[in-house]
A and B are shown apart, each in its own frame.
Chain A
Amino acid sequence: MIELHNIRKVFNAGKSNELTAVDGINLAIADGQITVLKGPSGSGKTTLLSVVGCMTRPTAGRVILRDREITSLPERFLTAIRRRTFGFIFQQFNLLRGISVLENVMLPAYPNGENHGALRDRAAGLLAMFNLADKSEAPVEWLSGGEAQRVAIARALVNNPAVIIADEPTAHLDSRLSREFMDIMQSFKTAGKTVIIASHDPIVYESAGVDHIVEMRDGRLIAAGSA
């Protein structure tokens, strides 16, 4: 479903702090499965996630999404595709402070210009799914770590994307919440979604539902193997 051909990403090209984050990446992400990018920090996992999720253009190489090359699409089309196809869960959650939980969940859909009432209902439904219905008007600062995590997940789902991308999702969670998180990812897989997680947490990559583990070190792939 998602293919990466000879991807290389260089930051600050030509400057003194030039950094090649990933190089020579050839990868195929299968549909409807959970793939984990495993490796220590600095291995390029986050950069690879960004490239896969169309958040950044590779310096070299091609990205093919559903048989369509998207590497050189202009920003507008790329953003629209990204919005429809991918849902992101960030390591720091990155919820907007001072705004209510419900509005945070609705934000990714604002540029779509869809009917507000329908959007509101959908977002409320997602919050209910994660048992957060009673917190929907609360400002996000009042949430616990686990609750914030679930709001971040709900937000990632609001545009009903086919692919969920999570960057070090369990970094701020205890073991119980980490396992709960993996259960949620498993339920996505059951619902037919594709899940890509970058993590060096054993609870994640040793989890039962994981289909592929991609090991990375120093910006390169070491081994792509099944769990």
Chain B
Amino acid sequence: MKRWIEKQRCLLDFTLSSLFRRKGKNIALVLVYTLVVFTLASVMMFTQALKKEAALVLRETPEIVVQKLVAGRHDLIPLSYASRISQIRGVASVKERLWGYYFDPVAGANYTVMVSEDPSLDEGEIMVGQGISRLRQVYKRNILSFRACDGNYLTFKIKGTFEAESELIASDLILISEGDFRRLFGVPGGYATDLTVKVRNRKEIPTIAAKILQTVPDTRPILRDEILRTYDAVFDWRGGIIMAVLAGAILAFIIFAWDRAAGLSAEERREIGILKAIGWETGDVLQMKFWEGLVISLSSFLLGVLLAYWHIHFTSAALFEPVLKGWSVLYPKFKLIPQVDGYQMATLFFLTVMPYTVATIVPSWRAATIDPDSVMRS
């Protein structure tokens, strides 16, 4: 056993000397390989973390949200619908929700404006999220003006900002009183953006949703379950960018494997011949080739995964910012719950390390079995 270990160490020594000969090429290979693993692992970790956060945070999202649809578009819902819905058996309460989007031309950003039930928010006061605070450089007791639907400007005093921890849900949020909301957006009294319904028995939610549809057919109930499932599909692999990343990664691997599998150069074949002539068996040559594949792929895999974890959890996925942000100007700073899934890492390991190692050994098979005397004859 000790001999076997010593032999492997010797073979590894030779492999490293051999790889060192083409230092530039092999370093470039490791870098690109690491980059590919880094990208894949980053996407995997980011998606996992976001899904976990969404699942935990949105657990208490409204049980049913009722939207009114007019010609397929989401329209304001009359409050009279609320009383009709509250008469359905099993409904505990129906509340109105007032919210919308405000486009701020000064910053070029969209804000989500919402009315809160909190009675302590007076007229003329607002609460803003950290993202807005950062973007407009406004803090507690500063003033912000918004252009109302009638062309006049309304000014608000910032009562406070949401804490940094809440960026994931409230980065772009403005909390406002009902009166101010209606003045700002021109939403008449008697109408709301949508209704939220609380049911008595959670298991009855789908049944009650069906009844809501019967009672007010021009509405669309959205169930809590559906909201949660939305986030399972975030970064769906069918999405354009994810597809591009995956395709790029697969292409990169095909290129690596092709480079290895295209067969050995005459130089490599000659060297294998020499090794066999000086006393290496076929098995020794193949073990050496195995190390050659493993050195590159294992190093790249480990570096890629470590860098990915650092990227996602210590820089808050800084490299994904431009992708998620798109053209939007406001981007939340989030610290995600660190999620490393052993199963996913193992999958990534098998998808990256094994094919490359195999692609290094297989083309050498033929050369490794040549007669040692071929080197003498050439």
B188 to chain A, nearest CB (A): 82
Chain B residue nearest to A77 (CB atoms) is B281
Residue from the list B2, B21, B274, B282 in contact with A98, Cβ < 8 A: B21
Decide if A75 touches B278 in the complex (CB within 8 Å). Answer: no
Decide if B376 touches A83 in the complex (CB within 8 Å). Answer: no
For chain B, what secondary structure do more than half of its interface residues adopt (helix, strand, loop), or is it mixed?
helix
Chain A, interface size category, equals: 35 or more
Residue from the list B6, B14, B271, B376 in contact with A90, Cβ < 8 A: B376
Decide if B377 touches A110 in the complex (CB within 8 Å). Answer: no
Chain A residue nearest to B274 (CB atoms) is A94
In whole angstroms, what is the CA distance A78 to B372 when docked? 12
Q: Which residues of B contact A134 (CB under 8 A)?
A: none
For chain A, what secondary structure do more than half of its interface residues adopt (helix, strand, loop), or is it mixed?
helix
Decide if B376 touches A50 in the complex (CB within 8 Å). Answer: yes
Q: Which residues of A contact B373 (CB under 8 A)?
A: 47, 50, 55-56
**B279 at the A interface (CB under 8 A):** yes
**A35 at the B interface (CB under 8 A):** no
Q: Which residues of A contact B375 (CB under 8 A)?
A: 90, 94
Decide if B274 touches A100 in the complex (CB within 8 Å). Answer: no
Chain B residue nearest to A198 (CB atoms) is B376
Most buried by A among B18, B277, B373: B373
B139 to chain A, nearest CB (A): 64
Chain A residue nearest to B20 (CB atoms) is A98
Q: Which residues of A contact B17 (CB under 8 A)?
A: 98-100, 103
Decide if A113 touches B376 in the complex (CB within 8 Å). Answer: no
Chain B residue nearest to A114 (CB atoms) is B6
Q: Which residues of B contact A131 (CB under 8 A)?
A: none
**B7 at the A interface (CB under 8 A):** yes
Decide if B279 touches A159 in the complex (CB within 8 Å). Answer: yes
**A225 at the B interface (CB under 8 A):** no
Q: Which residues of A contact B (CB under 8 A)?
A: 46-47, 49-50, 55-56, 75-76, 79-80, 82-83, 88, 90-91, 94, 96-100, 103, 107-116, 155, 159, 167
8 A-B pairs whose Cβ atoms sit less than 8 Å apart in the complex: A76-B281, A76-B283, A90-B375, A99-B14, A103-B17, A107-B278, A108-B279, A110-B13
